[in-house]
Each structure stands twice: as C-alpha cells, then as structure tokens.
Amino acid sequence: MKYIKAVGFDQHLPIENPESFQDIKIDTPEAHGHDLLVRVDGVSVNPVDTFVRKSGRKNRLSKPKIIGWDSVGVVIDAGEDVTLFNKGDRVWYAGDFTRSGSNAQNQLVDERIVGFAPKNLTDEQAVAVPLVGLTAYESLFEKLGIDWTGNENKTLLIINGAGGVGSIAIQLAKLAGLTVIATASRDNSISWAKKMGADYVINHHQDLVSQVKHLNTKYVDYILNLNNLDAHWNEISELIKPDGQIVATTENHRLIDLQKLTKKRATFAWEWMYSKSYFKTETMISQNKILNHLSQLYVDNDLLPIHTISYPVINASNMRKAHADVETGSMIGKVVLTSWEK
C-alpha cells in the first residue's frame, strides 16, 4: 500500500463549512531513528485540535495539513534506533505538536512519547485518554509536585472538572488520596464530576470563594485551572493557601496580577503536554513511563473510561461533527472516532 487515507484541510475554516475537513490520500511515511510507524485505529478530538484548525492565515495552504494528536493503534514498522516497542504492539500516545497528526491511517511518532495501550480497553475507550491523561498526570505529579501517598489532609480544587483533563485529574487525585473539589455548572456535568469521584462539586458560574468557605475550607492546597484563567484569577489567589501551588493548562488572554500571590509566596506553573517533545527535553521519555502507568491503572480497574461521544468511522464528515462537539465548549468527557472505511 503506497497511498493511505487521511483527513486534512487546506484552509482554516469554520466547522460549519463542508470544506473545513476533507478526505484525502497521502504517501505512507517511512520510519527512521526512534520513530514508530503506527497503523492508527482510533483518534480523539481535544480543544487543541479545534484551536489549530480555526487559527492561522486565511489563504489556502500549499498542501493539506493533517492534525490530530490522540491515537490508538498498532506498530507496523520501527526505525533503526527503536528499543521500547516491536511490530505488532498495540500502543497509545498523544503525539508531537510539530509533526503530522494522527488523522491518517499511518503515522510516525517518536517511541519515547508512546506507551502500551491497556489491553482491557477498546479502541474507543483507549483513545480518549492519552492527551488528557498526560496533561492531568503531569499537572498533578510534576507541576504541583503531589506525591502518591500522604495526601489525607490535602485538598485540590479543579476548575472545570467535567471536561477531558478534569475527568482524569479527579480520578488520579482521588487515587492519590486527596480531597477533590471540582467545578461544574449543569446537571449532567455535575453528575459526571461526581461519577469521576469528586468529593464536592461547586458551580463555576457563581463565586468560588464563598462556595469553598461553605465547605468549611478557607484555603485549598492545590489548584488545577482548566478554564479561563483570567476570569478565575482573583478567586484562585484568594483560595490558594500560603505556600500553595497553582497549575493551569489553558492559555490566558490578559496580563496577570501576580502581586496577588506575593504575601502567600504561592507558586504558579503552566502545564503544556507538548512541551517535552517540542523542546526535545531529556525528560521526554517520561511520557512513555506516564502512558504505561496510566495503562496499568486501567488494567487494574483503577480508572474509569471517559469517552462520551463516539463516531464509528474516521472520515472528514465525522471529524467535522467531532470538532463541532468540542466547539460547543460544554463537552463532558471526550469525543472519539474509530476505524477507517474499507
């Protein structure tokens, strides 16, 4: 097979436009170095996908762009330096921001950011996890510096608990023994956050400070912000405990009043899952370990699946639907696409 199917675009268009994604054919890429060639069996759509599709210059691209980060599939070839995987291994990964994406039948990916997919999960279940799993895991255990034990008296506030990252973050934080306060605003997102294990759910459209106080909590030890840092900054600086730690995954749009944290000498960190592969850091291989750890947690039935919408074929039509789902801004859990048409 020389040509493979893919879903791409050559113009940054609104998702309502039928041209916003197109079914295309591309050459099969070749694996060299640390690269695996993966047969992609499932993909999922994250907010980053819609951001990249919408953003960018208005003129037509010289060749179609293929995005997509989450992937589950099987290794069909490997570069000469590969040591972690063999042909036939079923893998999952969230990819590299700078490379051609997973919305293609075959994709190249550096083995150091790939893990073994959990054997007890279907493609639909598995592919919902890598990007949000890496983000949640790195946020909690690298950026907030949380240990896996000894958190009985520690509280984590997750702002936007029912989205993809929130769904995994609630579960991981509960496994680590933290008390979790998550925010959600609609009946079904509140139920979802509770199902994921949140001890308390409060409403992010109302004042967070008074709602947290109502739980007999003045300060929280950690805050994971997953939505609109600008809107929540004042509440975050009031609620974080002295010496506390804040991590955020969403880009903000305004300048930030850092002075609000001075007296508390609090710490603020960004989490960007792509950072390690983007800068080719020495710690890049940690994503292999994290994905394998998440896999083991699923095998041990310690984590619940998080996909809520599933499209049975990966093609331009379904990709437009999945992007439209994410663009509502009110996704609960994740949307996934699996299988290619014969």
Answer for which of 267, 292, 296, 339 binds a copy of itself (CB under 8 A) is 267
From 24-32, 169-177, 178-186, 270-278, give the range in contact with a copy of itself by CB under 8 A. 270-278
Tell me how far apart the alpha carbons of residues 3 and 97 are, in angstroms, rounded to a whole number: 24
Answer for which of 120, 281, 317, 330 binds a copy of itself (CB under 8 A) is 281
Question: Quick one: which of 202, 239, 207 has its CA closest to 221?
Answer: 239
Tell me which residues in 187-216 interact with a copy of itself (CB under 8 A): none
Question: Quick one: which of 32, 107, 100 has its CA closest to 63?
Answer: 100
Query: Is there binding between residue 231 and a copy of itself (CB under 8 A)?
Result: no
Min. distance of Cβ 265 from a copy of itself in angstroms? 4
From 39-47, 191-199, 260-268, 292-300, give the range in contact with a copy of itself by CB under 8 A. 260-268
Min. distance of Cβ 244 from a copy of itself in angstroms? 10
Tell me how far apart the alpha carbons of residues 69 and 92 are, in angstroms, rounded to a whole number: 10
Query: Is there binding between residue 283 and a copy of itself (CB under 8 A)?
Result: yes
Answer for which of 33, 56, 242, 312 binds a copy of itself (CB under 8 A) is 242
From 118-126, 204-212, 253-261, 320-328, give the range in contact with a copy of itself by CB under 8 A. 253-261
Answer for which of 41, 271, 325, 327 binds a copy of itself (CB under 8 A) is 271
Three state DSSP letters for 208-223:
HHHHHHHCCCCCEEEE
Is residue 157 within 8 Å of residue 140, measured between CB atoms? no
Q: How many residues bind a copy of itself (CB under 8 A)?
A: 33
Joined tokens for residue 74: 């099987």
Closer residue to a copy of itself (CB): 145 or 312: 145
Answer for which of 51, 116, 272, 340 binds a copy of itself (CB under 8 A) is 272
Is residue 99 within 8 Å of residue 135, measured between CB atoms? no
Burial of residue 88, with CB atoms counted within 10 A of its CB: 0-12 exposed, 13-18 middle, 19 or more buried:
exposed
Closer residue to a copy of itself (CB): 134 or 309: 134
Residues recorded for the chain: 342
Is residue 212 within 8 Å of residue 181, measured between CB atoms? yes
Tell me which residues in 63-82 interact with a copy of itself (CB under 8 A): none
Query: Is there binding between residue 223 and a copy of itself (CB under 8 A)?
Result: no
Query: Is there binding between residue 296 and a copy of itself (CB under 8 A)?
Result: no
Answer for which of 3, 147, 279, 300 binds a copy of itself (CB under 8 A) is 279
Tell me which residues in 125-144 interact with a copy of itself (CB under 8 A): 138, 143
Query: Is there binding between residue 62 and a copy of itself (CB under 8 A)?
Result: no
Query: Is there binding between residue 269 and a copy of itself (CB under 8 A)?
Result: yes
For the residues of 20-79, what is the DSSP string, one character each? GSEEEEEEPP---TTEEEEEEEEEEE-HHHHHHHH-S-SSPPSS-B-----EEEEEEEE-
The 10 Å Cβ neighbour count of residue 219 is 15
Query: Is there binding between residue 324 and a copy of itself (CB under 8 A)?
Result: no
Per-residue binding letters, 86-125, with a copy of itself (x by CB under 8 A) = ----------------------------------------
- Residue 122: strand, helix, or coil: coil
Q: Which residue has the tokens 């379904």?
A: 318
* Residues in contact with a copy of itself by the rule CB under 8 A: 138, 143, 145, 229, 242-243, 251-252, 254-259, 261-272, 274-276, 278-279, 281, 283
